[in-house]
């Protein structure tokens, strides 16, 4: 078989995002042993930088070896034991997946289901906590990748503590693109993924666990059903002194994560968040001009991932294929019952730039003119340009 040469794509789907050349170069760094002092120093630095990104002082702040779904599984299987009641907000695919993992642990998933694209209102959580008896945890998706909905988290902490329930948050599509204030918001367990707003290849899942949740983990009645994701064991490997071997860490991926965290620190979080917001507003202005309506309401619309309804006169799959084949641009289709009805367009990390917004809108206009659903050339580009001129 010939050497594989990957095409150069503009990645504007729900993940992965484009990766900075410095991150790719870091992955080519020479390997050392996973218990080598030089590599342990890398792990220490990654922990320090992740704490800053999560806005937390949590000692157990690590990068789980695996993709974002590994972080999701680690967060749930360590907390939930057979018979535990867990409230899960379900407003898209990933809330549904979380409920499934709870049930596979033998827990009772108490689903709060709302229409996809909507958020879980605090009063719904409060009502379930009052009526459901002892609840082990409340699990919410901060940024629902399947719908583009931005879930408020801060109002949930006080009610969770009032009912002695842990708060577990999925920040896969928000960390490094939106504020994630773990300590200030009272989050007990939070996880993310490297391939979204961190613009690092998929393969690691940043995770932070506070002492309140760690005490629950260490006092389990039954062993964690997963040996690989057992945080009571993994914690000893990530402890800065007297590390205990657990598994062989993905060394090159941790090199890459460290470099991506360095790039994030150089930009600064306030500037990074502002960049994501501005590019999202410009892209949405262009999409609205072309007739694409957003799925979530304006107050709860993610700047890192836009989910828009595709007009019925447009063959959404055919247009996505043309974007990929003719322009080397990837955007995502819908999941679940939104399949064939929506597009999911990611503006995350390295992919969130003005040039990328204008490139995508230009390609859509060209396809739309050729197929008759764009009648005013330049309408989307003008709308985006106007947004940029006002935003600076």
- Residues in a beta bridge with 336: none
**pLDDT for the residue numbered 298:** 95
Tokens of 77: 């299987």
Contact 165/137 with Cβ under 8 angstroms? yes
Contact 156/129 with Cβ under 8 angstroms? no
Phi, psi for 190 (deg, rounded to 5):
-140, 140
Q: Which of 293, 348, 250 is nearest to 18 (CA)?
A: 348
Contact 145/92 with Cβ under 8 angstroms? yes
Across the chain, the runs of DSSP E, i.e. the strands, are: 10-11, 60-65, 85-90, 108-113, 137-141, 143-144, 149-150, 166-170, 189-191, 204-209, 293-294, 305-309, 329-330, 332-333, 342-346
Place of tokens 């609205």: 288
Q: Which of 118, 111, 116 is nearest to 88 (CA)?
A: 111
Rounded Cα distance between 198 and 234, Å, is: 23
- Structural element, H or E, at residue 46: helix 37-54
Coil, strand or helix: which one is 377?
coil
**pLDDT for the residue numbered 263:** 98
Give every strand in the sheet of 137-141, ordered side by side. Answer: 60-65, 204-209, 189-191, 166-170, 137-141, 85-90, 108-113
**CATH numbers and ranges of domains, the chain:** 20-265 (3.40.640.10), 268-391 (3.90.1150.10)
- Structural element, H or E, at residue 332: strand 332-333
Confidence (pTM): 0.97
Rounded Cα distance between 238 and 228, Å, is: 14
Whether the ω angle into residue 203 lies within 30 degrees of 0, i.e. cis, is no
Tokens of 221: 């009645």
- Residues in a beta bridge with 307: 344
For the chain, 392 residues long, give each residue's pLDDT as a single digit of tens: 789 999 999 999 999 999 999 999 999 999 999 989 999 999 999 999 999 999 999 999 999 999 999 999 999 999 999 999 999 999 999 999 999 999 999 999 999 999 999 999 999 999 999 999 899 999 999 999 999 999 999 999 999 999 999 999 999 999 999 999 999 999 999 999 999 999 999 999 999 999 999 999 999 999 999 999 999 999 989 987 778 889 999 999 999 999 999 999 999 999 999 999 999 999 999 999 999 999 999 999 999 999 999 999 999 999 999 999 999 999 999 999 999 999 999 999 999 999 999 999 999 999 999 999 999 999 999 999 999 999 76
- Structural element, H or E, at residue 308: strand 305-309
Q: Assign residue 153 a region (left: φ > 0; alpha: ψ between -120 and 50; beta: otherwise).
A: alpha
Q: Assign residue 141 a region (left: φ > 0; alpha: ψ between -120 and 50; beta: otherwise).
A: beta
**pLDDT for the residue numbered 1:** 72
């Amino acid at each position: 078989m010939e050497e594989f040469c990957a095409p150069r794509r503009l990645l504007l789907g729900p993940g992965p995002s484009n990766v900075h050349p410095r991150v790719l170069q870091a992955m080519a760094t020479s390997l050392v042993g996973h218990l080598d002092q030089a590599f342990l120093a890398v792990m220490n630095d990654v922990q320090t930088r992740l704490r800053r990104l999560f806005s937390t002082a949590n000692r157990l702040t690590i990068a789980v070896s695996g993709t974002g779904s590994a972080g999701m599984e680690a967060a749930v299987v360590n907390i939930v034991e057979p018979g535990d009641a867990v409230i899960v907000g379900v407003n898209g695919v990933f809330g549904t997946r979380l409920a499934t993992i709870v049930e596979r642990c033998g827990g009772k998933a108490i689903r709060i289901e709302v229409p996809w694209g909507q958020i879980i209102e605090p009063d719904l959580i409060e009502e379930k906590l009052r009526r459901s008896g002892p609840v082990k945890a409340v699990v919410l998706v901060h940024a629902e990748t399947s719908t583009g909905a931005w879930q408020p988290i801060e109002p949930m902490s006080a009610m969770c503590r009032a009912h002695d329930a842990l708060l577990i948050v999925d920040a896969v599509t928000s960390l490094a693109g939106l504020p994630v204030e773990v300590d200030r918001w009272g989050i007990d367990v939070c996880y993310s993924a490297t391939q979204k707003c961190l613009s690092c290849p998929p393969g690691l899942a940043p995770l932070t666990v506070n002492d309140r949740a760690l005490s629950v983990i260490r006092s389990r009645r039954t062993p964690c059903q997963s040996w690989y994701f057992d945080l009571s064991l993994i914690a000893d490997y990530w402890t800065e002194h007297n590390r205990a071997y657990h598994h062989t860490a993905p060394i090159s991926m941790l090199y890459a994560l460290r470099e991506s965290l360095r790039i994030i620190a150089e930009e600064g979080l306030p500037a990074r968040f502002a960049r994501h917001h501005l590019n999202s507003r410009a892209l949405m202005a262009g999409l609205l001009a072309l007739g694409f309506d957003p799925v979530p309401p304006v107050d709860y619309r993610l700047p890192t991932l836009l989910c828009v309804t595709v007009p019925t006169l447009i063959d959404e799959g055919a247009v996505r294929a043309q974007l990929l084949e003719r322009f080397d641009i990837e955007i995502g289709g819908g999941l679940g019952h939104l399949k064939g009805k929506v597009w999911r367009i990611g503006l995350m990390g390295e992919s969130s730039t003005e040039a990328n917004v204008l490139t995508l809108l230009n390609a859509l206009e060209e396809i739309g003119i050729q197929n008759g659903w764009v009648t005013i050339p330049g309408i989307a580009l003008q709308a985006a340009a106007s947004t940029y001129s006002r935003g600076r």
